[in-house]
Amino acid sequence: MRLRLLKDGFPNRPDLRVFAGYVLAAAVYVAIGVAVTDFLLSFWVGVAYIVLAAWAVPTIVRRLS
Amino acid sequence: MSWAAHDLEPYAFQRHLKLKVAFVPLLIGSYSPDMMTKWFVYGIHIGPWDLKATDPAKFHRGWPGFGFTHSLLYGLVIGLIIWKVFGSKLWGLSFVVGQFAHALTDTGDTVGTMLLFPWTFHVHLNAWAYAGQTGRMTDAAAYFSGLGSMWDAVWMVYGFYSWRVLTSDFFDNYIYRGDRFWPWINRWVPRGALLTIYRAAFFYGTSRWIAWTIWAHVIHHYPYDLSWGGPHWVHAAHP
């Protein structure tokens, strides 16, 4: 019972896979942002970037493969 | 002045309030006090012209100026207008929650906010230096060297602790179901893209907190000063 409660408190494997994708996208975003700080200034650039990196690219890759 | 808290706070509120608030107006409310003013605080170049407030802190937080956007009354008035014009009490209330969070968070710096406007007294806790008048880059360096960035970190850690609000199940059961905006926009935008857009502010707040911290301390070696009111190496504005 206790083990189950502990397990319920953590993300499952599919959640972690999604999280890993966002971490990868964040690493690229941070690298670009540190090099070109203007990239960090706009919320809309951030939204466009994450929609591209975390949704559009994976969707296109899934369709092609 | 907060650089990431306004992106992250809405997720914490969403965790506790679930269907009682709508995420989009909550986020708009959280951004609203700075929406029209930040560019003039830091200044911009348009062709041969440099546009910048002569007293950025007063313009941003004071009166005369746009400081009233950081007051509770402003949140209530705009929330009421949203309720009556769009006929959605949920949207009006959610805007108020987001705007209140912004106004209260900004009391943490040395300028503070006129929370009880039209009373022009600035509620300020002096926890971190307001340095908007020094320009965007120095402000970033100062902010990410003081307690302001630690306050952002609290919201970030709390966001990760509340990781369930970022899952697709939570999005489907609370965010999408709780607000007609999402089914309406889903007519043109696929559900997967909407889920990503929902997560975007958290991604944006967290990623740029990390990026600015690296920029300030790894690339430029600005010193940390986590003392109350710091960093003291920058000239802090006061009301």
- Identity of the highest mean pLDDT range in A45-49, B20-24, B175-179: A45-49
Residue A4 confidence (pLDDT): 54
Q: b or e along B119-141 (b: 16 or more beta carbons within 10 Å of the residue's beta carbon)?
A: eeebbbebbbbbbbbbebeebbb
- ∠ CA B155-B159-B165, nearest 5°, is 145
Residue-wise pLDDT tens digits, B54-72: 999 999 999 999 999 999 9
Chain B residues inside the 8 Å CB shell of A62: none
Bond preceding residue A58 cis, omega within 30 of 0: no
Average pLDDT value for residue range A15-20: 94
Question: Does the structure show a pLDDT above 60 at B162?
Answer: yes
Inside any domain, residue B129: yes
B27 in Cβ contact with B172 (< 8 Å): no
Q: Using a pLDDT cut of 70, give the percent of chain B over it.
A: 100
Chain A residues inside the 8 Å CB shell of B207: 26, 29-30, 33, 46
Inside any domain, residue B228: no
Out of B192, B197, B212, whose CB is closest to A40? Answer: B212
Are the Cβ atoms of A33 and B211 closer than 8 angstroms? yes
Are the Cβ atoms of B199 and A15 closer than 8 angstroms? no
Average pLDDT value for residue range A24-29: 98
Residue B138 confidence (pLDDT): 96
Bond preceding residue A14 cis, omega within 30 of 0: no
Structural domain tally of chain A? 1
Q: Which of B204, B206, B215, B218 to mutate to test the interface with A (most CBs of A within 10 A)?
A: B204
Residue B153 confidence (pLDDT): 96
Residue A8 confidence (pLDDT): 59
Structural domain tally of chain B? 1
Out of B163, B206, B214, whose CB is closest to A34? Answer: B214
* B143 interfacial to chain A (CB closer than 8 Å): no
Chain B residues inside the 8 Å CB shell of A30: 207, 210-211, 214
Residue B166 confidence (pLDDT): 95
Residue B64 confidence (pLDDT): 94
Chain B residues inside the 8 Å CB shell of A41: 136
pLDDT band at A2 (very low <50, low <70, confident <90, very high): low
Inside any domain, residue B157: yes
Range of the domain at B177: 5-219
Question: Does the structure show a pLDDT above 70 at B24?
Answer: yes
Question: Does the structure show a pLDDT above 90 at A7?
Answer: no
- A-B contacts at Cβ under 8 angstroms: 67
Give B110: exposed, middle or buried? Use CB within 10 Å, 0-12, 13-18, 19+: buried
CB atoms within 10 A of CB B45: 9
Chain A residues inside the 8 Å CB shell of B192: 55, 59
Question: Does the structure show a pLDDT above 70 at B28?
Answer: yes
Range of the domain at A49: 2-64
Q: B62 is written with which tokens?
A: 């004071």
- The neighbouring-strand residues paired with B230 are B128
Are the Cβ atoms of A22 and B199 closer than 8 angstroms? yes
Residue-wise pLDDT tens digits, B73-125: 999 999 999 999 999 999 999 999 999 999 999 999 999 999 999 999 999 99
Chain A residues inside the 8 Å CB shell of B163: 11, 15
pLDDT band at B157 (very low <50, low <70, confident <90, very high): very high
Nearest alpha carbon to residue B3 among B206, B190, B223: B206
Average pLDDT value for residue range A8-22: 89
Give B41: exposed, middle or buried? Use CB within 10 Å, 0-12, 13-18, 19+: buried
* B219 interfacial to chain A (CB closer than 8 Å): yes
Inside any domain, residue B130: yes
Residue-wise pLDDT tens digits, B181-232: 999 999 999 999 999 999 999 999 999 999 999 999 999 999 999 999 999 9
Q: B37 or B27: which carries more pLDDT confidence? A: B27
